[in-house]
Structure 1
């Protein structure tokens, strides 16, 4: 594992740059296809190469790029009323998570995250994704807070937001568009917090610039697949991705 993540390390180690770029490309492909997951996947894999406190800010910048590009494509599909309680919950959760990231080892919380994701996936499989109960918008406050905490700690607060949007019965285009809108808001808040806390530096910004083309390319290919898959395949794909992420965090906590 390299102790630094900057342009000098990436350009000085082409193989490391290639592996990091491949991780970013695959993560972006999944993000465009399913609507979420790039942050958690990138953090989960890039931490094999670099320390988590360096990876998370770079992933934040990559996620902002992804949210901007996808939001521009899907802007008319955003369901703004669905976001009314998610916004305040996210601000609260992001603030808590940024403070925890600065002061404690984030890995200590991976067990809780893995158990939550696994429980949701098992529940959704048991009742079938298309038969999940419809919940009120007020659920956006606790799930948005939880998503904000996860976003600050692990680079993506997608799973609680996915649970909310699935149980609000959004179709795949509205799901992806609304997710990008709240993700862009979350990322803007996180960027301000990270700069204030000294977690985001110019060196990490340079590393982002070198990985950004892989992000854009993955989004382009993933968007093509998103437009072709059925609603049922989309729902099942989200659950499969959540199960994979859950397994990753449970294994990380056990090691």
Structure 2
């Protein structure tokens, strides 16, 4: 594992740059297709190559690009009332998660996240994703808080927010647009928190610029697929990604 993540390392090791670029491309493709998952994919795979405390802040910068581009593209589809409870919960969760990332080994919470996701996926498959019950907006407060903690720790608080949006019955375009809206707000705030805790270094910005083209290309291809898939396929794809993420965190929590 490399002990640094900056432009100098990537330029001096083209193979490392290529592998990291492929991971970022895949993450952008998934993000544009189903609206979330890029942060968790990048953190989950890049941490095999770099320390998590270097990866998470750099991934945050890449995720902001995805949020800006997708929220701008889908701006008129954002359901602003859905953020009324999600946003306050996310703010509380982000502060707590950033403090945990700064002061404790973040991997200690991976097992809990894995169990939560696995139970939700099993429940959704049991009732079928298109038949999930509709929940009240108030559920946005606890799920937003959980998402904020996970976002600060692992670079993406998507899973709890996905559960909320699925059970609020948002169609795929509104789902993706509204997710980008709260993700953009969250990411900007997280930058401030990471700077405050000294987690974001200037050297990581160089790596961000070298990996940015891979993110942009992945977003472009993923958006083309998003506009073509059906609502049912979209729901099932989100559950598949959640199941993969759950398995990854369950395995890492036990190892």
Distance 1:124 1:84 in 2: 25
Q: Which residue of 1 aligns with 2:254?
A: 254
Residue 173, structure 1, aligned to residue 173, structure 2: yes
Q: Which residue of 2 aligns with 1:97?
A: 97
Q: Which residue of 2 aligns with 1:16?
A: 16
Normalising by structure 1, we get a TM-score of 1.00
Stretches of structure 1 that go unaligned for 5 or more consecutive residues are none
Distance 2:111 2:171 in 1: 31
Residue 30, structure 1, aligned to residue 30, structure 2: yes
Shift of 1:201: 1.1
Secondary structure of the equivalent of 2:242? helix
Count of aligned pairs between the two proteins: 255
> Alignment RMSD, CA only?
0.4
Q: Which residue of 1 aligns with 2:139?
A: 139
Residue 216, structure 1, aligned to residue 219, structure 2: no
Deviation per CA, 1:71-128, whole angstroms, max 9, x where unpaired? 1100000000011001100000000000000000000110000000000000000000
Shift of 1:37: 0.3
Listed as ranges, the matches of 1:61-100 within 5 Å are 61-100=61-100
Deviation per CA, 1:14-49, whole angstroms, max 9, x where unpaired? 000000000000010000001100000000000000
Shift of 1:191: 0.4
Listed as ranges, the matches of 1:193-204 within 5 Å are 193-204=193-204
Distance 2:95 2:174 in 1: 27
Normalising by structure 2, we get a TM-score of 1.00
Residue 234, structure 1, aligned to residue 234, structure 2: yes
Shift of 1:254: 1.4
Shift of 1:241: 0.2
Distance 2:250 2:225 in 1: 30
Stretches of structure 2 that go unaligned for 5 or more consecutive residues are none
Residue 187, structure 1, aligned to residue 187, structure 2: yes
After the TM superposition, list the runs of 4 or more consecutive aligned residues in structure 1 that deviate by more than 6 angstroms.
Answer: none
Residue 125, structure 1, aligned to residue 125, structure 2: yes
Distance 2:17 2:252 in 1: 24
Deviation per CA, 1:182-212, whole angstroms, max 9, x where unpaired? 0001101100000111101110111111101
Distance 2:193 2:122 in 1: 34
Secondary structure of the equivalent of 1:4? coil
